[in-house]
Every structure is written in C-alpha cells, then in structure tokens.
Amino acid sequence: TAMARTLVELFYDVVSPYSWLGFEVLCRYRQIWNIDLRFRPAFLGGIMQATGNKPPAMLPKRAEYMLKDVKRMAKYYQVPVQISEDDFQRIIGTSNLGAMRFITAIDMTQPQYLEPLSREFWIRFWSQHEDISQPENMLAVAGQAGLSSELSQKLLEMISSPAVKNRLKETTEEAIKYGAFGMPAVVAHLNGKPHLFFGSDRLELLGSVIGE
C-alpha cells in the first residue's frame, strides 16, 4: 500500500527573502518527497509583534551577515533574490499587509493560483525591487501570475473585507500557536503531532524527521 503522505505546511510572507528560498526548495522537494505541501500565507509583522522578535537587520552585525548569507543561498538554490543594504530600509518603509491580504484572497477563492501569485510577488519585491503596496502593482503582479483583470480587480476589492482580514489574522495566529517567531515557519504533521522547523536552512532536517 502507498505510504500516507505527510502534511507539510509552509507559513510565509513575501516580505521575507528566506521565505522565498524555503518556498522554492519545498516546491522542488514536493516532486520527490511523499508530502502534501500546503502554502499558508501569514503576516510576518503580526508574528514579530506577538513574540517580541525584531527584524535581523536591526542588529548591525547580523545585517552584515544576512547580506552575505542571502546572496550565498540565492546562488546555491538558484533563486533570483537580489539583496543590498538599501533593502533593509525598503522593507521597513513598505507595508506588505495589502499584498498578504491579496494573496490570502486568492487562497480563499482560486487556490490554484496561490503558488504562481506568491512567486510573482517575491520576484516583484526581491528581484525587481518594486513597491508591492500599491494597488496598480498588485494588479500587475496578478497579471504576471496569469490572472484575468476581472479576477485581479475582484481580489483588490476583497482585501478590505472582514473575511480576508480575519483569515490572514487566523493563519498568523495559527503559526504562532505552532511556535513560530519568524519566517518561514515549516510545520510537518507526524503521527498527529506538529513539528516546527524555522528558516530555509533546516529542510534536510525536515526530510530526515519525516523519513525522506
């Protein structure tokens, strides 16, 4: 009999470059591992606030290391993250809440677009260094991901709805309940128990724990 597939949840935010790395690597492993990969768009700001965590770039030595680290990982995993010192200010100056609500709205209505839409947001923010908080940019991202202009417009209207706001809030709270304090947060469900892995550099460990 076929082994039951292990549910692996990825809690992510497009403002996080490490989330993009984790997302792409898990998309690759999904082809060869016996897993059901579930994407869980959440709000990094909410997780930071609830857990008292601070962005790594707030600590100068850590920021210095992070620049090198992300560049090395981007090269190793072949993911086009472009990072420079200016990005730390850019992240602090950009509201990503609208983008995460937009992504949440697609998850609620047309989940088949969730993966390409999320990827396009990362590309727009981390490769092309564009502002993802502006409605016209969100619509452009949606177009790149293959959504019709009608659907894109509908999603834009949905981001201010209580249903979407609550869903994003609930997903964020769920991540915190699993023990998340940053992103990406990967949760594997084994024998009825959740196992949390933080970051994009623990995926081999995840594989080992789930028997891959």
Does residue 16 carry a catalytic annotation?
Answer: yes
Phi, psi of 77 (to 5 degrees): -90, 0
User: How many C-alpha atoms does 107 have within 13 Å on its Cβ side?
Assistant: 21
Token pair in block for residue 64 = 């210095």
Tell me the domains of the chain and their CATH numbers: 6-210 (3.40.30.10)
Who contacts 40 (Cβ-Cβ below 8 Å, separation ≥6)?
9, 10, 11, 12, 171, 174, 175
From CA 71, how far away is CA 76, in angstroms rounded?
9
Q: What is the pLDDT along the chain (212 residues), one digit of tens a residue?
A: 457 899 999 999 999 999 999 999 999 999 999 999 999 999 999 999 999 998 877 888 998 999 999 999 999 999 999 998 888 888 877 789 999 999 999 999 999 999 999 999 999 999 999 999 999 999 999 999 999 999 999 999 999 999 999 999 999 999 999 999 999 999 999 999 999 999 999 999 999 999 99
Report the alpha-carbon angle 150-10-136, nearest 5. Answer: 30
Closest CA relative to residue 164, chosen from 107, 104, 121, 115: 104
In sequence order, the β-bridge partners of residue 166 are none
Predicted TM-score (pTM) of the model is: 0.95
* pLDDT reported for residue 176: 97
Distances (CA, A) of 13 to 28, 63, 165, 195: 19, 19, 15, 20
Set 16, 118, 152, 200: catalytic member: 16
